[in-house]
Amino acid sequence: MTQTVTPTHPDPDALLDQLTLEEQVALLSGADAWRTAAVPRLNIPPLKVSDGPAGVRGGGPLIGGRRTAAYPVGIALGATWNPDLLREVGLSLAREARDKGATVLLAPTINVFRSSLNGRNFENYAEDPVLTGRLAAAYVQGLQAGGVGATPKHFAGNESEFQRGTIDSVIDERTLRELYLRPFEIVVKEAQPWAIMTAYNRLNGPYCSQHPWLLQKVLRREWGFSGLVMSDWGGTHSADEGVLAGLDLEMPGPAVARQPLLAQAQADPEVRAGVRERARAVLHLLARTGTLDEPLDVTDDHERDTEYPETRALIRRAGAEGLVLLKNSGGALPLPAGARVAVIGPNAEAAQVMGGGSAQMNAHRRVSPAEGLREGGRVNVVGSAEGTGNERYLPVPQVETRIEYRDQAGGPVIGQDTRPQAEVMFFGLPDGVNPDADGVNPDAFHATLTVTVNAPHDGEYEVSLGSAGLSRLSVDGQPTVNNWEDWQVGELYFSFGSGERRAPVHLSAGRHTLSVEYTPHVMDIGITPFNAVRVGFRARPDGDRLARAVALAAQADWVVLCVGTTGEWETEGVDRAGLTLPGDQDALVEAVLDVNPNVVVVLQTGGPVEMPWLSRAPAVMQAWFAGQEVGHAVADVLTGLAEPGGRLPQTFPHSLADDPTHPLTPDVQYPGEDGRVEYREGLYTGYRHVDRSGVTPMFPFGFGLSFTTFTLGAAQLHAPAFPQDAATVTVPVTNAGARPGSTVAQLYVQPPQGRADRPLKELRAFAKVHLNPGETGDAVLTVTPRDLAYFDVAAQAWVAGPGEYVLHVGQSSADLSTQVTLTLPHEWREALPDTD
């Protein structure tokens, strides 16, 4: 009989000494998708993790799970340039996580922007490593102050989604350390995250999840990281190799790559020692999160979906603070009180809350711009019109979907389930079906999904089908879409699924049955396959949408024109195809401007888009995907209840031709060829590229307008003991306008010409200043010797040569109004620790 041991003190190192080798190995892979393994003999409970970063989804499905608070996405928070706000968001998220029984949040995402087309840019903060790192450190500090561990990701070199599961990111060491590793270094040193998640891709050869240089030399020995390293889901590629390289936890579970680990550990003392160290990291994470002392109920049934008024207020405030006013000719904004306003565009009545992929969740609410303006009551909303569409796929019917499971086609029903909409992800055998005991193959079951839809009138409709397995769709028993015999990999479901297949149908008014036959399709693509299916349905759009929108626009004093993308276009697993707005949205903007010059264009995207109508529109506001309260945040700024507090965390180019990562013909530099993507542009991305090439961006990095005017006085340098102590630069900032507001004082270091090729200037410090009309306040900016340095690969050291460094301060990378000179009398050098 196995004896249960009750430890007198939940000390992780003491527990480690009591674990058998089998138990140590068991801890190194998850128990399921969201929980770590338990060791009942020692009363070691499981720990639950949850996806973020802009909310806490919990342990349910990616689509249609338990409701939760949806916060502004990463780039929207990046646009705030406000670490204090990020710390507040992190602390708020900790409560959301604990409500879901989770004590580790898989967040934040801190890969810097390399390409404007990265499908996951919306999830990250900025193109600059210092801005990214400082914001992420604050987020982590807030989250962990609430007792929930952070998991900065994806470590490292994951700057696009193309072939991300296998591609080799080829990055020279200097570029890697100065740009792509720097945010992680800042977070580790300033916030001590309790976990790190590795990227799917390879980095200069090895997979990141089994990369000893990355995980042991750099992360642990150079930076002093003391937390746990976990793989991305399905991103573990070996047993003993990953353990020896420093990967603590394979996720999800149960073990796949680590199935042979026990035998390897029994046979090899080095592997056995590695297993012990990896198990130690798991136990210390359990201790840090309080799991050993006071474990939470980690079952999905006990998740809470409480909505807090203070969380709603925070999301609304954070959303407004991240909105970037790009243009405001003639003081068009704020809108005049009582103005007759038409709200037009595909995003007018549709709240674009979040991007797609693992970051999506079932938000408590989705407030659209039209709804926000109506509820605000400060203007008179005379109507709304779509004008055109921007969907990538047909809409999913939000009606109950019934699922019947069989062990083979035509066999008896072995289980049933229901879902609240006609899209199901990660569905599989229902509760109560044991694959081993019942003789059911989980990779070969059959499921029938049944959806009843209502056709409001006789006419033409469209249906669609997409799946991560084989599927067929019938309408009222008639075969309509075949995604079975000719199933092909497409862009759905992280590029593990098919594309969307559509078919026209003629329906009479009334109820109709859509039925899908489904079976898994196991794929050999290096990532654990899963099950998913998506049914789309809509009436075919009539040809009068544009005309109705134009007619409405002509009757209004002002038009709020809501255009942009959606989480279908900006999502995990696939990159954007270009920088143009989807569909006919540019034509809609031009048509509305033809009949009413008083137009405010509200852009909801996860990054830059081309704006061929920019010169005609008097006002343009970048609203991102600002969370569940996005409509309220937009309305607050449009009507002057809040200021537009955002500044661009990314350079907005006029077109893709201005993006340095994109050759005219796609090749190994972007998106990659033959399993490699080479970062040939080196350090010169974003504003660094702008400075070197002389190209003029549409909007520069750090840019954003306010409803008031700020002036910066002469910068003052205080550096009595530099470089032994840090220098400070103090800049008086005055609100010279008639409204309260904020600006961001940004400090860029321009190095002297020397032996190394260096960017003209680089952001090294920033401070957000909130001021009332006529008020003056100081922006205090700190500069360290490391801020002057570059990485010398040959010397394996951070080096700043002697000379005069110009410290520019301004309100954007292109608006630097004051400067001081900091003299470094002799070379400063910080060698990497000798860790080999």
Q: Residue 337: what are its φ and ψ, rounded to 5°? A: -60, 135
* Radius of gyration of the CA atoms of the chain, in A: 27
460 Cβ contact partners less than 8 Å away, ≥ 6 residues apart: 504, 505, 506, 539, 540
Instruction: Decide: 12 and 248 in contact? Cβ < 8 Å.
Output: no
Instruction: Decide: 785 and 750 in contact? Cβ < 8 Å.
Output: no
Kindly state the tokens that stand for 640: 């002057």
Q: Which of 119, 100, 123 is nearest to 110 (CA)?
A: 123
- Amino acid (one-letter) located at 82: N
The CA distance from 127 to 791, in Å, is 19
| 42-60 residues labelled b (16+ CB within 10 A) or e (exposed) | bebbbbbbbbbbbbbbbbb
The CA distance from 283 to 19, in Å, is 11
* Torsion on CA atoms 298, 299, 302, 307, rounded to nearest 10: 60
The residues with which 470 forms a beta bridge, in sequence order, are: 519
Give the DSSP per-residue string, 609-669. ---TTTTT-SEEEE-----TTHHHHHHHHHTTSS------SS-B-SSGGG-TT--SS-BTT
Known catalytic membership, residue 232: yes
457 Cβ contact partners less than 8 Å away, ≥ 6 residues apart: 509, 539
Give the DSSP per-residue string, 340-386. EEEEESTTSSS-----SGGG---BS----HHHHHHHH-SSEEEEEE-
Instruction: Decide: 650 and 607 in contact? Cβ < 8 Å.
Output: yes
The CA distance from 24 to 42, in Å, is 12
* Residue from 232, 248, 636, 658 carrying the catalytic annotation: 232
Helix axes 545-555, 585-595, angle to 10 degrees: 30
Instruction: Write out the H or E segment, with its range, that includes residue 771.
Output: strand 762-771
Instruction: Write out the H or E segment, with its range, that includes residue 678.
Output: strand 676-678
Cis preceding-peptide flag for 269 (omega within 30 of 0): no
The residues with which 467 forms a beta bridge, in sequence order, are: 533
- Amino acid (one-letter) located at 364: H
Name the one residue in this structure whose structure tokens are 């128990």.
Answer: 31
Sign of the Cα torsion 342, 345, 349, 351 reads negative
Beta strands 168-170 and 202-203, pairing class: parallel
Q: Which of 178, 215, 170 is nearest to 196 (CA)?
A: 215
Name the one residue in this structure whose structure tokens are 């669609």.
Answer: 464
Kindly state the tokens that stand for 568: 């279908």
- Structure letter (DSSP) for residue 83: H
Sign of the Cα torsion 391, 394, 398, 401 reads negative
Ramachandran class of 772: left when φ > 0, alpha when ψ lies in -120 to 50, beta otherwise: beta
The CA distance from 276 to 16, in Å, is 8
Q: Which residues are catalytic?
A: 232
